[in-house]
Amino acid sequence: MIQLDAVVVGGGFYGARLALMLGELGHRVMLVEREAELMARASLRNQARVHNGYHYPRSILTSLRSRLNYARFIDEYADCVDRSFPHYYAVGKRMSKITAAQFTEFCRRIGAPLSPAPAAVKRLFDAARIDSVFEVQECAFDADLLRERLVRELVAVGVTVALAAEAVRVETFADGRAELTLLQNGSEDRIEAELVLNCTYSRLNRLLSNSGAAPIPMKHELTEMALVEPPLELNGAAVTVMDGPFFSLMPYPSRGLFTLSHVRYTPHCSWHDAAGAAIFDGDALLTNRASRFVHMTSDAARYLPAMRGARHIDSIWEVKTVMPRSEQDDSRPILLRRSAEHPALVTVLGAKIDSVYDVEDALRKLLGVDTPALSLRA
């Protein structure tokens, strides 16, 4: 039996940051990760895009928050972001939910820098299908560099990191403290803590349901992003075609390649966690799927003919989790919810890497960190 102040389950970017925050406040913290290293799952297998608001023309609030967090993120992690490439946003003509004029006005309202793309870049696009092309300011993060830095910081603060360890379930003592069962090297350990943070992203409901708590309504998608060598004509630029069933080509610094993702082809299938039903294990889908790279490039080449020259190197597969209501309106709310069944268990979900600041603020508020004791007990 180990006694701690807090256990953070899930060693992705959010989990590591929150463990760090609690450690810096002077608490004894353990960070638990199922994989062999931190940031090995969704924090690694994504677009690596640091959002600067452009992506959410249907939610001004999300865009404004994005803008604030973007500046803070690229300032704090200047050594982990790649800002060396130009990024072009092209607005589609048919099937687009926004026109070029509306996009310009939207960027003006949220104060996001926007300028017309150079003529040589515009010529690369099919004028019959693309309304207009803009140059924006948006960068990519390097997940490997982020991980290295977080590990250094966690060690410095004295957070215990348990790798290849799986949090099985949470139980609650009569006094309200939590007991977490941890499976590591085939044996079970028990940890007592004032606070357990569930930062397991696509596996949130797995831990909740194993602990006898009601699942939170979530939608999951099995996603594929193709890792490609981009066509030479693009000269290392990132391209996003919006706003509808289009595609994005973004640098993926940790592999020295680009990700090609497509709104229509990246999600292979989706499912919902329903109360009362068994929680479906999405990880079972991650292997042996046929790639949709050919579909992605066949469509992308209709807008940007040079995309025919993209070379498929590999694909990254991941289970993406969203709150169902944020699908329609572009909003990317964060979730921070205390379990009704286990008062010391708090579930955390964000959508974008830079929303971590919003999550930290919300957690500080929930804990009332001005008080020295870390307890949610009434």
Partner 1 sequence: MNESLISIVAPLEGDTTAAVTAFVEETVAVLRQLVTHYEIILVDDGVSAGTVNGVRALLERYDFVRFLRLSRHFGEETAIAAGLDVAIGDYVIVMLPNMDPPSLIPEFFERARGEADIVYGVRMHRKTEPLWYRAGARLFYWYINSVVKAGIPNDSTQFRCMSRQVVNAITQIRDPDQYLRLLTSYIGFQKEALPYAPINRTGEPTVRPKGEAVNLARALVMDHTTHPLRTVLWMGVVIALFNAIVVAVQGGELHDALAFLVLSVMLAFVGEYVGGLSRRMRDRPAYYVREEHTSSVLLREERRNVVTG
Binding site for partner 1 (CB under 8 A): 94-95, 128, 245, 264, 267-271, 280, 285, 294-295, 298-299, 302
How far is residue 233 from each of residues 5, 236, 253, 307, measured CA to CA in Å? 54, 8, 19, 9
Task: Give the helix, strand, coil percentages of the chain, each rounded to 5.
Answer: 30, 30, 40
Q: Do the beta carbons of residue 182 and residue 165 sit within 8 Å?
A: yes
Q: Do the beta carbons of residue 102 and residue 64 sit within 8 Å?
A: no
Smallest separation (angstroms) from partner 1 to the CB of 307: 11
Smallest separation (angstroms) from partner 1 to the CB of 125: 15
- Give the nearer residue to partner 1 in terms of CB position, either 270 or 326: 270
Smallest separation (angstroms) from partner 1 to the CB of 312: 13
Smallest separation (angstroms) from partner 1 to the CB of 300: 9
Smallest separation (angstroms) from partner 1 to the CB of 128: 6
Smallest separation (angstroms) from partner 1 to the CB of 292: 8
- Give the nearer residue to partner 1 in terms of CB position, either 281 or 361: 281
- Give the nearer residue to partner 1 in terms of CB position, either 172 or 297: 297
- Point out which residues pair with 31 in neighbouring strands: 8, 161
Smallest separation (angstroms) from partner 1 to the CB of 244: 9
Smallest separation (angstroms) from partner 1 to the CB of 225: 17
The CA distance from 288 to 290, in Å, is 7
Give the angle 14-15-19 at the CA atoms, nearest 5°: 120
Smallest separation (angstroms) from partner 1 to the CB of 45: 20
* Number of helical (H) and strand (E) elements in the chain, helices listed first: 9, 20
Smallest separation (angstroms) from partner 1 to the CB of 289: 9
Give the DSSP letter string of 221-283.
EEEEEEEEEPPGGGTT-EEEEESSS-EEEEEETTTTEEEEEETTTSEEEEEEE-TTSPPP-GG
- Give the nearer residue to partner 1 in terms of CB position, either 280 or 357: 280
- Point out which residues pair with 260 in neighbouring strands: 226, 249
- Give the nearer residue to partner 1 in terms of CB position, either 84 or 298: 298
- Give the nearer residue to partner 1 in terms of CB position, either 123 or 295: 295
**Burial (Cβ within 10 Å: 0-12, 13-18, ≥19) of residue 108:** exposed
- Give the nearer residue to partner 1 in terms of CB position, either 108 or 264: 264
- Give the nearer residue to partner 1 in terms of CB position, either 268 or 337: 268
Q: Which of 286, 164, 165 has the alpha carbon at shortest distance from 220?
A: 286
C-beta neighbour count of 1 within 10 angstroms: 7
The CA distance from 359 to 373, in Å, is 20
- Give the nearer residue to partner 1 in terms of CB position, either 102 or 181: 102
- Point out which residues pair with 160 in neighbouring strands: 30
Residues near 95 by beta carbon (within 8 Å), at least 6 away in sequence: 244, 245
Largest CA distance in the chain: 69
- Give the nearer residue to partner 1 in terms of CB position, either 162 or 222: 222
Mapped onto helix, strand or coil, the DSSP state of residue 290 is coil
